């Protein structure tokens, strides 16, 4: 049985699938030629990440497909309900990348509080001629320890972010529509863990109390953080979005940065991918990454192995 991993899959995933007699193809086929390739090559399983879409048109054009898999959490690039109505299995890997995304959040936070997002741009240009000036400009950093971290969306990834925040010594609060409380097990170096119960609050409370806000919500039809929400955020706070593009009003975000309502922002996802707005890319108070939350070797191995396990269970 042939599997097309159109956006790639880890070698560990390929090995696990091959051991169960699946043939894994890792060519990247353009979206326009994808249906034709699937039909000509009798592909039964299509695996995607964020680059490839599996919409109704593709599903209708490929009656031989048995399963569509998403390597990651979000399923907004797949017409899930329609695929299921046509008898296809639809799977994803919600747990595999949580730790990697959470670590990226803190990479941005640590970079933000020490102005790395800006000094890494300035040093190559002025480091030789204005070293003392840059040192003075970036000498007012703060520590994360003792600050309040607000998490909006308290699912798997949000709870992984909470673990790190608690370990750093932050006060962690959270808002979630469906979760009233969660027990966060903070793991120590010796394998022991300390349970911490976090009860969720309203989003308005989290916005007002937090020094730093991290978003972990699925794709939405409307903004989760819009101009009204920015007006409720504690002045001088910072916000990180490693969730989905479109959950933040980017125009309102730029205004909040320009007026000092926000001290800095960090974006891993954007409304217009793969062409983010130039005002975001050039803004001196925004830390930027190109949608790499799950892009660690460890996460990709876990994703590949979890996909392989699910496919083997469903189709063997």
Does pLDDT of 56 surpass 90?
Answer: yes
Same domain (yes/no): 80, 168: no
Same domain (yes/no): 44, 193: no
Same domain (yes/no): 137, 86: no
Q: What would the pLDDT profile of 122-146 be if each residue is shown by its tens digit?
A: 999 999 999 999 999 999 999 999 9
What are the catalytic residues?
244, 273, 291
* CA–CA gap between residue 54 and residue 43 (Å, rounded): 14
Same domain (yes/no): 60, 17: yes
Same domain (yes/no): 54, 134: no
Does pLDDT of 31 surpass 90?
Answer: yes
Of 54, 74, 57, 63, the residue nearest 246 (C-alpha)? 74
Q: How many domains does the chain have?
A: 2
Does pLDDT of 50 surpass 90?
Answer: no
Q: What is the rounded radius of gyration, in angstroms, for the C-alpha atoms of the chain?
A: 21
Percent of the chain with pLDDT over 90: 94
Domain carrying residue 223: 98-288
Same domain (yes/no): 249, 151: yes
| Average confidence score pLDDT of the chain | 96
The pLDDT of residue 261: 98
How far from 57 is each of 42, 82, 89, 242, CA to CA, in Å? 18, 10, 17, 29
Same domain (yes/no): 173, 281: yes
> Which domain CATH number covers 7?
3.40.50.720
pLDDT tier at 94, thresholds 50, 70, 90: confident
DSSP 3-state of 147: coil
Same domain (yes/no): 83, 116: no
Q: Which residues pair with 199 in a beta bridge?
A: 181
Non-local (6+) Cβ contacts of 90 within 8 A are 67, 68, 69, 70, 75, 78, 80, 83, 84
Of 187, 212, 185, the residue nearest 196 (C-alpha)? 185
* CA–CA gap between residue 80 and residue 34 (Å, rounded): 18
pTM greater than 0.75 (yes/no): yes
Same domain (yes/no): 177, 204: yes
Strands (E), the chain: 2-5, 23-25, 43-48, 67-70, 89-92, 148-152, 171-175, 181-187, 193-199, 212-215, 237-241, 262-267, 286-288
* CA–CA gap between residue 155 and residue 153 (Å, rounded): 6
Same domain (yes/no): 42, 163: no
pLDDT tier at 30, thresholds 50, 70, 90: very high
The pLDDT of residue 74: 83
Same domain (yes/no): 189, 262: yes
Of 166, 171, 111, 163, the residue nearest 146 (C-alpha)? 171
Same domain (yes/no): 250, 308: no
CA 194 distance to own-chain centroid: 26
């Amino acid at each position: 049985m042939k599997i097309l991993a159109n956006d790639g899959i880890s070698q560990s995933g390929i090995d696990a699938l091959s051991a169960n007699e699946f043939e894994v193809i890792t060519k990247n086929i353009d979206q326009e030629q994808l249906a034709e390739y699937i039909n000509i090559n009798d592909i039964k399983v299509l695996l995607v990440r964020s680059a490839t879409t599996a919409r109704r048109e593709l599903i209708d054009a490929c009656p031989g497909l048995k399963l569509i898999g998403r390597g990651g959490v979000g399923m907004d690039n797949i017409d899930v309900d329609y695929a299921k109505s046509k008898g296809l299995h639809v799977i994803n890997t919600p747990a595999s990348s949580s730790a990697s995304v959470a670590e990226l959040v803190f990479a941005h936070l640590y970079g933000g509080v020490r102005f790395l997002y800006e000094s890494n741009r300035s040093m190559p240009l002025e480091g030789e001629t204005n070293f003392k000036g840059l040192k003075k400009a970036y000498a007012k950093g703060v520590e994360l320890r003792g600050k309040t971290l607000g998490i909006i969306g308290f699912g798997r990834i949000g709870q992984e972010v909470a673990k790190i925040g608690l370990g750093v010594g932050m006060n962690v609060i959270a808002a979630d529509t469906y979760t009233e409380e969660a027990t966060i097990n903070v793991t120590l170096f010796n394998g022991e863990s300390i349970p911490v119960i976090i009860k969720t609050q309203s989003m308005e409370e989290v916005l007002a109390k937090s020094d730093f806000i991290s978003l972990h919500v699925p794709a939405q039809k409307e903004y989760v953080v819009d101009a009204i929400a920015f007006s409720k955020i504690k002045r001088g706070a910072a916000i990180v979005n490693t969730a989905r593009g479109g959950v933040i009003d980017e125009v309102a975000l730029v205004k909040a940065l320009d007026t000092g309502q926000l001290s800095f922002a960090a974006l891993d996802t954007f409304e217009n991918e793969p062409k983010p707005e130039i005002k975001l890319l050039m803004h001196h108070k925004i830390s930027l990454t190109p949608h790499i939350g799950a892009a660690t070797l460890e996460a990709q191995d876990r994703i590949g192995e979890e996909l392989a396990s699910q496919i083997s269970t469903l189709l063997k």
